[in-house]
Amino acid sequence: MGHRHFNGLKTAALFGVLWVVLLALGASVGRGRYIFLFAGLGVVMTAYSYWNSDKIAIRAMHAVPVSELEQPGMYRIVRELSTAARQPMPRLFVSPTAAPNAFATGRNPRNAAVCCTEGILALLDERELRGVLGHELTHVYNRDILTSSVAAAVAGVITSIAQFLMFFGGGDRDRSSNPIAGIAMALLAPLAATMIQLAISRTREYDADEDGARLTGDPLALASALRKLERGTQVAPLPRDQKLVDVSHLMIANPFKATGVARLFATHPPMADRIDRLQRMAGLPPY
């Protein structure tokens, strides 16, 4: 519980910094006259992305709903885990792609959706799939979709304001204004927002690994699944389409090839670190 408490404090602190960046950037436009406008825009964007999170992600992955007759194993696992957690049964979807991955989305447990790709269903055995689905259900139970929606929306607003500054300036023609500082703010603020958003996403992944392993009672099953996904996502990555990039933080594994500088901007923690934590939960030596 102590580690989980630390992750909660870390997430709250990162959100605080993210809003400070937003308000500081807003204050630099028109001497701060629009700061409340930008804060309000952040709230509106957050509400929209949160309310429509399931539709956005399902549409991006071209996923289709499946019946229990079509996916009996998936239904059996999710029903068992939902019952154990005393939560309602989510809607189940399958995405017709060979890239192995899974995600859960929806604004709350009653409006949740869990999606597996055809690739992950072919790659994992039932025990490993149970570990993955436990992880995904935990994201819903921990309200991580709200967390990620807020982070993505605020980061998006910061980027939009920075682009406005770059093209139109701060709307302040006062000679005392510092154009170099304005340009620096316009360049650095989106980078800072992106790095904070990624840090929040990584923190929530660690928590979902830990809580999902507790839900299934089998941390080694998830560790085994992550090993296969580490290799599988490199062999069959998703294309870097912007719609897929926008929902990639929801997936259990980074769906894109992560090489060189791209690793710095990964939405997920290193697989080795995640597997190490799960093995320690099971009382085994590091991966």
Helical packing angle, 144-168 and 126-141, nearest 10°: 70
CA 16 to chain centre: 18
N residues, the chain: 287
Which of 128, 136, 205, 210 is catalytic? The answer is: 136
- Give the dihedral sign, CA 61/249/80/91: negative
Q: What does the alpha-carbon distance between residue 41 and residue 27 come to, in Å, rounded to a whole number?
A: 14
Residue type, 236: A
Q: Is 109 exposed, middle or buried (0-12, 13-18, 19+ CB in 10 A)?
A: middle
CB neighbourhood size of 180 (10 A):
7
Annotated active-site residue 136? The verdict is: yes
**Radius of gyration (Cα) for the chain, nearest Å?**
20
Q: What does the alpha-carbon distance between residue 165 and residue 162 come to, in Å, rounded to a whole number?
A: 5
Residues with Cβ within 8 Å of 92's Cβ and at least 6 positions away in sequence, in order, are: 65, 66, 71, 74, 75, 78, 113, 114, 115
Residue type, 203: T
Residue type, 128: E
List, by residue number, the catalytic residues: 136
